[in-house]
């Protein structure tokens, strides 16, 4: 969330706009999440939840329950955003990194998802179903204040659809998946206000993630985690699966975590990590009774 102020003040301000969901009211800033830890979503018996886990797979601790997923981490690693169902509709929430103070910040008529923070913590970018028929568009919401701005707009009967925004480290650019016809898409880079959109990948690209230094973008290229320069050149596969998705960089940019479905795990979703240059992959999670997805190791 890259907040530069204590999260309790933010939660208190947000509560004036939306319904709060309980949690701590402490007046001290939370301890930042260690660089060796990540947020993950876990599939439960009745609903999804969000856990903190070490990048080596140890010390898995639940922090958010109640049908929640799609976590995001603030730049200062003290806060998170996530998606939770409210009245059957997905909405964006924010909380301290330990899960306390969870507060709803969007109230979309249909469905909101895929939150990601701006580097300075002033906004959360997310996707919104704008018409109830699946026209997914990128929006932003100010923090605090709750002013929503639609960033992308359809031009042809609800198309193109736009998904999975990620913000460059300097805050000037967005990368996202764009689906012109509602099916397979490409990775697009644009100004942060949605102007000057340029496709930088072939069809089949999903889930872009900007590197911490801003020079590269990781994405899933037809089920293989691939790293490319931020202008789309020098595409290099770094994973070995065929169902690998949702890459996230380590804070120092040396590794990438992602989720995958593989036979060694009984075809359950699990989290893996690999060097940003490719190499031997390692399990982060492997508990088939508790599949895991949507890892977030750093802001992107």
Task: State pLDDT tens for residues 170-187.
Answer: 999 999 999 987 777 899
CB proximity list for 248: less than 8 A, separation 6 or greater: 38, 209, 256, 257, 258, 295, 296, 297, 298, 300
DSSP 246: E
pLDDT at 237 over 60: yes
How does strand 123-129 pair with strand 269-275? unpaired
Find the mean pLDDT for residues 242-251: 97
Q: Name the band, by pLDDT with cuts 50, 70 and 90, for residue 47.
A: confident
- Confidence category of residue 134, pLDDT binned at 50, 70, 90: confident
Is the pLDDT at 205 greater than 50, yes or no?
yes
Q: Is the pLDDT of residue 13 over 90?
A: no
Residue 24 lies in a domain: yes
Contact 189, 174 (CB under 8 A): yes
From the number of C-beta atoms within 10 Å of its C-beta (0-12, 13-18, 19+), residue 188 rates as buried
> By CB neighbour count within 10 A (0-12 exposed, 13-18 middle, 19+ buried), where does 109 fall?
exposed
Q: How many domains does the chain have?
A: 1
Any idea which of 94-98, 177-181, 293-297 has the lowest mean pLDDT? Answer: 177-181
Owning domain of residue 100: 7-296
**pLDDT of res. 24:** 40
Residue 270 lies in a domain: yes
pLDDT at 156: 76
Residue 68 lies in a domain: yes
DSSP codes joined into one string, 86-99: ETTEEEEEEEETTS
| 1 domain-assigned | no
Whether 3 shows a pLDDT value over 80: the answer reads no
pLDDT at 12: 35
- Residue 157: the pLDDT is 74
What is the rounded distance in angstroms from the CA atom of residue 95 to the CA atom of residue 179? 31
Contact between 64 and 49 under an 8 Å Cβ cutoff? The reply is: yes
Q: What pLDDT shows up at residue 145?
A: 75
pLDDT of residue 8 exceeding 70, the answer is no
Is the per-residue pLDDT at 275 higher than 70? yes
β-partners of residue 256 are 249, 274
Among the listed residues 222, 25, 40, 194, the one whose alpha carbon sits nearest the alpha carbon of residue 125: 194
pTM: 0.89
**Phi, psi dihedrals of residue 233, rounded to the nearest 5°:** -85, 165
Q: Is residue 17 part of a domain?
A: yes
Q: What is the pLDDT of residue 130?
A: 86
Banded pLDDT at 11 (limits 50, 70, 90): very low
Average pLDDT over all residues of the chain: 88
Q: Give the pLDDT confidence of 21-38 residue by residue, as tens digits.
A: 334 444 577 899 999 999
User: What's the confidence (pLDDT) of residue 6?
Assistant: 30
Q: Which of 139, 140, 185, 141 is nearest to 160 (CA)?
A: 185
Question: Taking a C-beta distance cutoff of 8 angstroms, is the pair 218, 249 a contact?
Answer: yes
Q: Six-digit token pair at 25? A: 């009211």
CATH number of the domain within which 241 lies: 2.120.10.30
């Amino acid at each position: 969330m890259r907040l530069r102020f204590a999260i309790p003040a933010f939660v208190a301000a947000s509560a004036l706009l939306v319904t709060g969901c309980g949690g701590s009211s402490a007046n001290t800033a939370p301890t930042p999440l260690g660089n060796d830890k990540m947020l993950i979503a876990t599939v439960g018996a009745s609903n999804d939840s969000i856990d903190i886990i070490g990048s080596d797979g140890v010390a898995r601790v639940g922090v958010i329950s109640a049908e929640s997923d799609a976590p995001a981490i603030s730049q200062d690693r003290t806060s998170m955003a996530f998606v939770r169902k409210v009245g059957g509709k997905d909405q964006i929430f924010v909380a301290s990194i330990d899960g306390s103070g969870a507060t709803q910040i969007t109230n979309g008529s249909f469905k909101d998802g895929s939150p990601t923070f701006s580097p300075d913590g002033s906004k959360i970018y997310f996707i919104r179903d704008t018409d109830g028929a699946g026209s997914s568009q990128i929006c932003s919401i100010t923090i605090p204040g709750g002013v929503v701005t639609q960033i992308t707009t359809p031009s042809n009967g609800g198309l193109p659809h736009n998904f999975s925004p990620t913000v460059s480290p300097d805050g000037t650019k967005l990368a996202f998946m764009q689906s012109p016809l509602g099916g397979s898409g490409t990775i697009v880079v644009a100004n942060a206000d949605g102007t000057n959109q340029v496709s930088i990948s072939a069809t089949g690209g999903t889930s872009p993630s900007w590197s911490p230094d801003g020079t590269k973008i990781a994405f899933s290229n037809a089920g293989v985690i691939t790293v490319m320069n931020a202008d789309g050149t020098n595409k290099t596969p770094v994973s070995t699966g065929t169902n690998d998705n949702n890459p996230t960089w380590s804070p120092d940019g040396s590794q990438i975590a992602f989720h995958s479905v593989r036979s060694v795990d009984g075809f359950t979703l699990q989290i893996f990590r690999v060097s940003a240059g490719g190499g031997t992959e390692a399990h982060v999670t492997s508990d088939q009774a508790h599949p895991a997805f949507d890892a977030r190791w750093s802001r992107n």
